[in-house]
Each structure stands twice: as structure tokens, then as C-alpha cells.
A and B are shown apart, each in its own frame.
Chain A
Amino acid sequence: MIRIENLCYSAGGQLILSGVNAEIEPGRVTALVGPNGAGKSTLLSLIGGLTEAGSGTVEVCGRRIEAWHRAELSLTLTTLRQQTHIVPRLTVRELVAFGRYPHSRGHLNEMDDVHIAQAMEDMELAPLADRQLDTLSGGQRQRALIAMCLAQTTQIMLLDEPLNNLDLNFSRRVMEVVRDRSRAGRAIVTVLHDLTIAARTADQIIALKNGRVMASGPPSTVITPEILSDLYDADVEVYQVGGKPVVLPI
């Protein structure tokens, strides 16, 4: 579904990504992990066509990302950005409804209403539906932004730190929804800092360091004390609790 070949990107004379190769398949959750400044958000931005690559290729559904018309791409791929400009007087429902814009061009029909309602239910936003965005907490706003991406009902979802500002309960909720969407055949690529959540949710993990892929594969092969200690330049231990991995710094 997504093929990345020898992708390089520089900004301000500094190499951000170098020779990145990856394949992302439908029906799977791929987690991008790594220390701050490793190039995770840049990689997501390049996959989503929001930034132009220096060299190398990104193919989405067999077509190079530059060849996609923006309107057409928005029916196939959505991106949740880390920082999003907020229009103050927009209500939660209105923001989520924007997720249907690629389909409706602003003229919502009954099917659009169904998808909007589903996305709001998934993020438990019904009680906040008529609240304006500038009156919400950071976590509530994050849920509204995720719901907008969900309402877009695309085959590919790129989520940059979706758990930002979310409490324990909603972090779990978001990852459940992400898993459900992947089971329905969608390709999900998400940047995660919580390695325990990454290990439990992702089917594939790509570990980036200094703009290069340091390790990639199923969680069992990447979430190991050796790789993680090397990745973060810190001592890390991986415990098994109830048969599931828990990652802790020592």
C-alpha cells in the first residue's frame, strides 16, 4: 500500500532523513518510534505529501506521491499533525464534519452524517459536540482532531503522536479504535513515544535514529533491551506482565 525507497530529506543544510526504506501494508498498524529529532514526523509528512522529498520515492497505492492530485489523495489518505491551527469559533461537531469535506465538498448528505456520528462516538465526543474548540482542554481538542481524521474514512491513516495530551483511558480508547480500523483493512502509521503501547498495538515497528532506520520488524524483534538501549542511548528494560511487554527505563 505504501512503499518508501531510499528516501532522503534535508532542511537548513542538515540531513533529517537518509536512505529510508519501508513497506507498509493494509490491515496493519505500523509504529514509528525513536528519540526526539530522529525524523519520525518528517517521515510521516513525506508519506502524506505535505513535504517534498529531497530524493527517493514514496509510492501510495502504486502511484508516486507527487503524481496524486490533492483532492484525490484526501479520499485515500489522512494525516493527523502534531500541531494544528485552530479556528476559535468552530464547534467540535463542525470540526469533525470537516473530515467529510473530501467526499462532500461542503454539502453534507446522510451518509456523511453517519460517518461524523460514528467518529464522534468512537472518540466519545457527544457531550462536547456543541462546545467551541477554544473552550476545550488539550486532550479534548486532540480527540476532536482524531475524530476529524476518522470521519475522513480513508484507507490510510497517518497519525503523528495521537496520544498527545490524552489521559490513560483515552490513550487506550484511541489505540483500540486504531486497531479496529486496521482490522477493517486500513493501513495505519503512527508515531508513538510510549513503547509499551507501541509494542502492544503495532504489527510492525520502525525504529528511527538520526534519520536512519535502525531496526524494523514485528514488536518482538524490535522491542528488546539491546535495540532500545542503543536507540535511546539509555538503559532500558523490557518486562513481561501478563504475557505482554512493558518497557521501562532503568
Chain B
Amino acid sequence: MPLRLLFVGLAAYVFSAFLFLTLDVRADWGFILAFRGPKLVALTVVAVAVAVSTLVFQTITANRILTPAILGFDALYVLIQTVLVLFIGGAGRSGLHGLPLFTLEAGLMVVLALLLFHALLRRSHDLNRLVLTGIVLGILLRSISSLISRLIDPSEYAFVMANSYAGFNNVDLDLLWIACGVTATLVLVIWFRSRQLDVVALGADTSRVLGVEHRLEARRLMTAVSLLVAVSTALVGPIVFFGLLVCAITYLLAGTWRHAILLPLSALFGASLLITCQTLFERVLNLQSNVLVVIDGAGGLIFLYLLYLGSRR
């Protein structure tokens, strides 16, 4: 059954990618591949990074209504944009592209995450404290952004707003391949640790009884999660609830707890969902609005629904 589901996921991904590339085609293949190909890769990379990082984060924290975004990645990303606009202006920020900016954004997010993990997980193993600290940190960073935004000229602030939402229209091609390589490597490393993840899912004490040093494993995996989220955020912008939506669908359909199946399944479902929604938005509904805003909204509703279900149990 799970293997059959993997084939279904793969078929859904191939079909959605095919539709994305071919629907409403008015040019030759060379042009389509050059124009739509990178966007397809970007959609896939982001969906895979967000889906896998959310699934692993939920396993480590033993909580299916959490996403790594809760640790304040999105708030830090917005703060970086705000600070950049404050110091170099909107035009200067718009002129910033390429590897240096990507490295700065991804690097700062990873540093923040690692500081958080090492400061809070060094002595105790209280993951709830980590999550709550992440939430408080996110609020603090948003407050700082809000404070700085008061110092920025309103017309300049429009640049902050423009860069604060995830979007696939202006993905840098060079960065895309770097993000693709980093994401593929991390996802493979995590997949090869599927069996340890299965044990980690049993909780800290049981993991240790079974020979898996939960604290060490959780720190390794959290580092991989923060790298995935940082790369995806630096590439297209902050995504908060999409991972939650994908993981909820994956758990619902998979009927298994094995991460060897859950990880690829969430990646395939996530990519299929994102690409299908983008195709519907762009080609069928002819909407120019950002698809991730809508998907994040749906993910938010799922989040509330899961909270409601949890409160009824």
C-alpha cells in the first residue's frame, strides 16, 4: 500500500509538471523550457524543502501542528529586508541579487537557528522550551522590523513589502541550482536516516533505551531542518503554513509511520500541490496574484482545524 502511494505521488508530480510545462503553450519547446523549466525546478525545490523540513520538525517535536517557520525564520527574513532598505534604500535593495545576498539571508537564518538550538538544547532537552522561545523570538524580530519600518520613508517601505512575500517570478537561476543541490543533498541525508527518525518518533526516553542518542540526533536533524528552511526562504521568501498543509495530507493518506515512505511521499505531494496550484492560478484563472499567499491561507485554516480536532480529543 505505501509503495503504491509512492507511485501515485510520483504520477501526480509528473502529471502536474507536464501540465505546467505544456498548458497554454504558444511558443516552441526551447523557449518553454528556458522560461518555465527553471520555475518548475524552483517550485519543486521549495515544495520539497518545506515538506521534508516540516515532517522532520514534527517528528522531533512529537507535535503535528508545528512547522519550523514557528522558530522565527519568516520574521528574521522580513527583518533582514527592512534593515537592508533602511541602510541602502529601496533602489539599493532592488539592485542586490545573487550569491552574496542569498548567502547573507540563508547564513543569518542558519546562525539564528543554531544559536537557538545550542543555547537551549545544550543542557536540557526541552523541545517545548525551544519552540516557545522560537515563537517569542519571532514576535521580537517582528517588533524590531515594525520599529525600524517607522524610520523608513513610506515609498521606500514598499520595497520591504515587495520582498516580504514568497514568489516564484524572479528566482535567480544561479541561486536556483545552488538551492537545488543543497536541498537534494540534505533530503538524501535525512532519508538515509529514516530508521533513526522512526526511533526518534517514539520519544526521547524510548529512543535512548533503543540506542539512539535522541539529543544528538535531534540537534543534527534540527540543523538540517534549519538549512532547508533557510535555503527555501532565501530563494523565494517566507512560507509559513504550506508545510503544515502538505504534512496533514501526507499523514492522512499514507497510513504509515515509516519515514522511508513518509519523507518521499510528502515531497511528492508537496511538489504536486504547489505546481498544480501555480498552473491553475497562472494558466486557468489567469491570475497574477501570488499562489503561495492562497496556499499559506489554506494551510492556516488546516492549522486551526487541527487545533480544533486536538481540543475535541
> A residues bordering B, Cβ < 8 Å?
48-50, 70-75, 78-79, 81, 84-85, 87, 89-90, 94, 98-99, 101-102, 105-106, 152
Task: State the CA gap A74–B210 with chains docked (Å).
Answer: 6
Within 8 Å CB of B257, what residues of A?
Answer: 87, 89-90, 94
- A residues in contact with B202, CB < 8 Å: 84-85, 87, 98
List residues of chain B with CB within 8 A of the CB of A81.
205-206, 209
Chain A contacts for B208, CB-based, 8 A: 49-50, 70, 74
- 12 A-B pairs with C-beta separation under 8 A: A50-B209, A70-B212, A70-B213, A75-B211, A78-B209, A81-B205, A84-B202, A85-B62, A89-B255, A90-B257, A98-B206, A105-B195
User: In the assembly, what is the distance between CA of A49 and CA of B209, in Å?
Assistant: 9
The total of chain B residues at the interface (CB under 8 A) is 18
Complex CA distance for A230 and B291, rounded to whole angstroms: 71
Total contacts A-B at CB 8 Å: 59
How near does chain B come to A103, taking the closest CB pair, in angstroms? 9
- Chain B residues near A75 (CB, 8 Å)? 211
Contact B211 A74 (CB under 8 A): yes
Q: Contact: B211 with A102, CB < 8 Å?
A: yes
Neighbouring B residues of A105 by C-beta, 8 Å: 195
- Complex interface: chain A residues within 8 A of B255 (CB): 89
- Which of chain B's residues 121-161 have a Cβ closer than 8 Å to chain A? none
Chain B contact residues, CB within 8 Å of chain A: 62, 195, 198-199, 201-203, 205-206, 208-213, 255-257
Q: How far is the CA of A10 from the CA of B205 in the complex (A)?
A: 19
| A71, B62: Cα distance in complex, Å | 22
List chain A residues, Cβ under 8 A from B201: 87
Q: How far is the CB of A225 from chain B (nearest CB, A)?
A: 37
Q: CB within 8 A of B211: which of A71, A84, A85, A89?
A: A71
* B206 partner residues in chain A, CB cutoff 8 A: 81, 84-85, 98
Contact B211 A70 (CB under 8 A): yes
Q: Note all chain B residues with C-beta closer than 8 A to A152.
A: 209-210
Which of A73, A89, A99 has the most chain B CB atoms closer than 10 A to its own CB? A89
Other contacts beyond A84-B205, A98-B206: 8, CB < 8 A: A48-B209, A49-B208, A71-B212, A79-B209, A85-B203, A101-B195, A101-B212, A152-B210
Q: Looking across the interface, which residue of chain A has its beta carbon closest to that of B194?
A: A106
The chain A residue with its CB closest to the CB of B251 is A89
CB-nearest residue of chain A relative to B212? A70
B209 lies within 8 A of A89 (CB)? no
Asked if residues B62 and A101 are in contact (CB atoms below 8 Å), the reply is no
Interchain CA distance A89-B252 in the complex, whole Å: 11
| 8 closest A-B pairs by CB | A85-B203, A74-B211, A106-B195, A71-B211, A102-B211, A101-B210, A70-B213, A89-B257
Q: Please measure, in the bound complex, the distance between the C-alpha atom of A105 and the C-alpha atom of B199, giving whole angstroms.
A: 10
A28–B251 Cα gap in the complex (Å)? 45
Cα–Cα distance between A78 and B209 once the two chains are bound (Å):
6
Could you say which residues of chain A place their CB within 8 Å of the CB of B209? 48, 50, 74, 78-79, 81, 152
Q: Do A73 and B211 have beta carbons less than 8 Å apart?
A: yes
Interface centre among B195, B203, B208, B210 (most CB of A within 10 A): B210
B contact residues around A99 at 8 Å (CB): 210
Report the Cα distance A51→B201, complex, angstroms: 20
- Please, which residue of chain A has its CB at the minimum distance from the CB of B215? A70
Does A101 lie within 8 Å of B199, measured CB to CB? Answer: yes
A84–B210 Cα gap in the complex (Å)?
13
